[in-house]
Amino acid sequence: MTDDSRPTPQQTTIVSPDPWQGLRSLTRARIGLGRSGNAQRSTDVLAFQAAHAQARDAVHAPLDIKTMQTQLNGEPCLIVHSRAPDRPTYLRRPDLGRRLDAESLAGLEKGSWDAVFVVADGLSSVAATEGAVALYHAMKDRLKDWSLAPLVIVKEGRVAIGDEIAAAMGASMVVMMIGERPGLSVANSMGIYLTYAPRVGCPDSARNCLSNIHPHGLKTVVAADKLAWLMREARQRKLTGVDLKDDAPESMLIEQTPPALDKDTHV
């Protein structure tokens, strides 16, 4: 007699541990994707399509000014518009997004400010809506001895439009908070550009940039500490850009950096 309970060679399945599993939990990048036959797994394909849709939404969605005003809790702000009349034109004509329209420019009053904070939709209105006001509040706490102009919100704006705004308002430096070009792992990343003595035609080499600010990247509190250090150095040395190196104390940043998050379950 034979023992029929024993599996035949065809019934035996050997399951090998996935060597990529541990690495996937450390990054939002799509690494070591599995396969089903000759195709990618349905879960990976669907996740990719969802990320692509989020990126497109981030680019085309209008800036949610009402939500930002709610976040400001009654603080005054100025709302202006670039020379791009609408989103499709803005995306096709980057030059129009770098200048204010005539009505907006005429409405800015000249003052004497240490700095002005400007937020623009850029290429991710979602990022600007979610992150700009929180950073602005964090900076006000760190710059209590500074004279700060009211927050300026720009529709259809690019980085350079902050130069014209600061020059019109008489601000010594401008902090531009703007939505970054979305990728397929992050659609809500915000960047910051700091420029001392801004003017129309200011080269990009005269700016300092902090990027990748979002819940899974550079945290708001860390970005605020780093920006405050750069602003104080800029005021003391009267410059920004390639001549102002990022020498912020590393210990300050490391201590305030939270531990890495587990990778999103849907990615």
Q: Which residues are annotated as a binding site?
A: 159, 180, 209
Instruction: Give the chain's largest Cα–Cα span.
Output: 101
- The residues, ordered by sequence, that sit 6+ positions from 237 with a Cβ below 8 Å of its Cβ are 243, 244
**Could you tell me if 158 and 188 are in contact, meaning their C-beta atoms sit under 8 angstroms apart?**
no
What whole-number distance in Å separates Cα of residue 193 and Cα of residue 43? 38
Q: Give Cα separations from 43 to 40, 56, 57, 267 (angstroms).
A: 8, 20, 21, 9
List, edge to edge, every strand of the sheet that includes 173-179: 77-81, 151-155, 116-120, 173-179, 190-196, 207-213
Annotated binding site for adenosylcob(III)alamin: 159, 180, 209
Beta strands in the chain, from DSSP E residues, in sequence order: 35-36, 39-40, 77-81, 116-120, 151-155, 173-179, 190-196, 207-213
What whole-number distance in Å separates Cα of residue 197 and Cα of residue 168? 12
